[in-house]
Amino acid sequence: MKRVSSFILIAVLFTMLAAPGIAARAQQVTITFLTPPWGVPPNEEKLAAFEAETGIKVDVQSVQMNDLFSRVQVAAAAGEAPADVIFLSEEAPSNIVATGNMLPLNDLIEATPELNIDDIERLEFFTLDGNVYGITTYLQMVMMDYNAERLAAAGFDAPPTTWQELRDMAVAIKEKGIDQYPIAFGAIDWSWYLIALSMGDPMFDEDLNPVFADEGSKAREAMAMLLGFFKDELISPEMLATPTTPHAVFWSGVGVFHQAWQGSVAVGNNPEVSAHAPNVKYMLLPEVGNTWSFPAGIGISANSKNVEAAWKFIQWYVSPDTQEDIYKAVGLYPSRISVQQALHEAGAIEGYDVIAEQSKRIHELPRYALWWGPFAQYATETIYQAILTGGDPDKVIDDLAKEWNSLKEEYGE
Amino acid sequence: MRRVLSHDAVFIILVLLPIIVLVTLFIYYPAASTFQTSLTSENLRIRRPAEFIGLKNYNFLLHDAEFWEVTRRSLVVVLLTLPLEMLIGFLVALLLNERFPGRGIVRTLVILPWMMPPVVNGFLWGWLLNGEYGALNGFLYELGLINQYRYWLRAPETQIVWVAVVQTWTRFAFPMIILLAGLQSIPDELYDAAKVDGAGVWARLRAVTFPLLLPSFAVALVIEFTTTFQIFDVVWTLTSSGGAGGTINPFTKTLMIFNYELVFRDLRIGRGAALSYIILLMSLAVGMIVVWRIYRQGIRE
């Protein structure tokens, strides 16, 4: 009897001590956040504080973008949620949003006035048919930056204002032995879009016809310019031989002109990351100087079973505090106007004036088209092939137009 | 009442039932479902229900220039890899069939590349072949064989050759193991008899080793053909072109890469499923020919 009483006493004591923990775990919700590496919340302490305050445990799953799309698509085929919260890159409208994998957030936004949605720019990028599928977390537009010291060493006191001028400067830099590969561009579709838009080509008309293939178009000139850069070895052969990026090549110290983005100078002038520090500056894109944007957002999976918890996490993720942390960690320009202004006033945004000027010259690419994803991949493969085989730029353009029209016919509703 | 099944029969059925259920669930059911999908227009980008289209996906692929191009390329990889792999595997098996000090350690070292995931091998060789800091460049430069570093993976012609080299390095240990087992099953008396008849090394190889090794050779050949014909990991990690996450390299796009592209990039599930079955049939066809000709001949020997 004594033994039984002791046992009961111990059991009661244990239950009293363990109960709060058990209750807490019972209340704790776990959500998954699927993101590429640069979307991982940089401040672990603040994330832990969010988890402690809300009782929401966030399981961050960091994968490369192509793997992220694969996971979403495979889960969609099974009617499952790949994660509760999904990071939306610039390719997401075509690959994830248009394919019905994300939950419309309109009702949640309306019910959350403290989100201050008017403070967030470029919401329309993740809006389809009036439904908002993602809250913009950071803004990006393609820009260029350059090593001002090397340019000056070659005898040039200002960045180029035309593409021919840029090419001539690159040749001079190479011939003077200042930099063997002065242009840090990739053998990818983006390099062509950058030059073509900057030259003033609209690329597509309002009916999504590929006007880039019109005879004598600037896009044709841009393709010839890009292939010429590779042919004359103004771009490092490493871009063709390894799965690297122009950013990695530039920050390793190779190149003077770099295909960059809004916020890249902060990274380029970080001596822990870049061999060019502290000489990197933005330049306005040459000629007409148009560019395109690629903001990122964050949304909720259409099959998520933790919508409320996911929405709380999203509110935290796009809060001014977190956006400032992300900017300081990886140089990604905040989507909140208030945060942009605060950082500018604090002098934390290098090259703000150039960014502001470049942002007036946005000409969007039709990323919302269902077939944009396959077209972009095809464009990269075709350009890569043309570079390695010495392909004719006009034939490349014709092939791209043919592929676009074929995809448009296949996917058009 | 007459007993229909004996105790032994019931026991056998009960023991086999779990594996039958597992194989049905995880192999035959997905295979049947994939075949069904291959007869539809399923495309995850299009928000319309998939329609039954019969053999249209198969017809499209068999008339698609890209399909034949990637098939040709896959066969090129096989033709470059298989002879090298089987030859190296055979030579190493011959060596390991002899007794010498440290044979166990050598045997372990030889199978290390095979034990590593192909993805790891692909990345490893990517670093070795890097044009800026690769060990191969450093090694050849120090030996005076090159006077400047080279981008080994730049030229389209050499990319596929390096794929074959890395695949050979990754896989040669497997045929080596099978051929070694085959060598060790050949009775010593046959070699003794051949020696007595005055047969030299090459004659013993030709008259005793090769004929009796044919069944093992056939098994190794079929497995390695299927593995190499369906190569993916090495191609992807070694030669996918720039950009975070990798872009498909058109110069090394093989059948499985093409399949990945159809299913995961283009989301053309129906067409991708059809391609899977075409790949299966092509692999089976070769396997059956090899078994029919080489294996049977080996058994007769």
Of B152, B243, B264, the CB nearest to A188: B243
Instruction: Report pLDDT digits (tens) over B287-297.
Output: 788 777 776 67
Q: Find all residues with CB under 8 Å of A369, minimum gap 6, and list them.
A: A94, A98, A208, A375, A408, A411
B160 touches chain A (CB under 8 A): no
Structure letter (DSSP) for residue A269: T
ipTM, two decimals: 0.75
All domains in chain B, ordered by first residue = 1-32 (no CATH), 39-300 (1.10.3720.10)
Of B153, B155, B267, the CB nearest to A242: B153
**For B132, which residue in chain A has the nearest alpha carbon?**
A238
Stretch B97-113: mean pLDDT, rounded?
Answer: 91
In CATH terms, A142-292+363-411 corresponds, of 3.40.50.360, 2.40.170.20, 3.40.50.720, 3.40.190.10, to: 3.40.190.10
pLDDT confidence of residue A76: 79
A positions 122-181 inside 8 Å of B (CB): none
Contact A186 B264 (CB under 8 A): no
Domain boundaries, chain A: 27-140+294-358, 142-292+363-411
**For B243, which residue in chain A has the nearest alpha carbon?**
A245
**For A240, which residue in chain B has the nearest alpha carbon?**
B154
Cβ neighbour number for residue A2 with a 10 Å cutoff:
6
| Fold matches, A27-140+294-358 and A142-292+363-411 | yes
Length of chain A: 413
B positions 211-240 inside 8 Å of A (CB): 240
Of B44, B126, B242, the CB nearest to A186: B242
**For A68, which residue in chain B has the nearest alpha carbon?**
B245
Of A245, A388, A411, the CB nearest to B244: A245
Of A99, A246, A413, the CB nearest to B44: A99
B244 touches chain A (CB under 8 A): yes
B positions 20-79 inside 8 Å of A (CB): 44-47
Most A CBs within 10 A among B57, B158, B163, B265, hence the mutation to make, goes to B265
Torsion (CA) A34, A35, A36, A39 in degrees, nearest 10: -160
CB contacts, 8 Å: B246 with chain A: 64, 66, 243
CA distance A232 to B72: 32
pLDDT confidence of residue B242: 45
Cα→Cα distances B68→A140, A217, B234, B254, Å: 41, 34, 21, 10
pLDDT confidence of residue A3: 63
Number of H helices, E strands in chain B: 16, 0
Instruction: Report pLDDT digits (tens) over B232-280.
Output: 999 988 887 544 345 788 899 999 999 999 998 888 999 999 999 999 9
Contact B151 A241 (CB under 8 A): yes
Stretch B26-46: mean pLDDT, rounded?
Answer: 92
A positions 13-72 inside 8 Å of B (CB): 36, 64-67, 69-70
Contact B130 A69 (CB under 8 A): no
Most confident of A27-36, A48-57, B41-50, B209-218: A48-57
Q: ∠A372-A373-A378 over CA atoms, to 5°?
A: 95
Contact A238 B132 (CB under 8 A): yes
> Rounded to a whole number, what is the distance in Å from the CA of A2 to chain B's nearest CA?
50
Q: Show the low-confidence residues of chain A (pLDDT under 70).
A: 1-7, 10-27, 413
pTM, to two decimals: 0.80
Residue among A115, A36, A50, A38 nearest A83 (CA)? A36
Stretch B201-215: mean pLDDT, rounded?
Answer: 86
Beta bridge partners of A141: A293
Most B CBs within 10 A among A96, A388, A413, hence the mutation to make, goes to A388
> Rounded to a whole number, what is the distance in Å from the CA of B52 to chain A's nearest CA?
17
Contact A381 B250 (CB under 8 A): yes
**For A382, which residue in chain B has the nearest alpha carbon?**
B250
User: What spatial distance separates the first Cα and last Cα of chain B, rounded to whole Å?
Assistant: 52
At residue B185, φ and ψ (nearest 5 deg) are -90, -5
Contact A188 B247 (CB under 8 A): yes
Is residue B228 pLDDT above 70, yes or no?
Answer: yes
CA distance A290 to B168: 49
A385 touches chain B (CB under 8 A): yes
Mean pLDDT of chain B: 89
- Beta-carbon-side half-sphere exposure of residue A210 (alpha carbons within 13 Å): 24
B293 touches chain A (CB under 8 A): no
Q: Which fold, A27-140+294-358?
A: D-Maltodextrin-Binding Protein; domain 2 (3.40.190)
pLDDT confidence of residue B293: 75
B101 touches chain A (CB under 8 A): no
Stretch B52-57: mean pLDDT, rounded?
Answer: 96
Of B241, B267, B269, the CB nearest to A187: B241
Contact A370 B151 (CB under 8 A): no
Of A65, A237, A371, the CB nearest to B151: A237
Of A36, A100, A245, the CB nearest to B243: A245
Interface contacts A/B by beta carbons within 8 Å: 102
Stretch B97-126: mean pLDDT, rounded?
Answer: 90
SS3 B130: coil
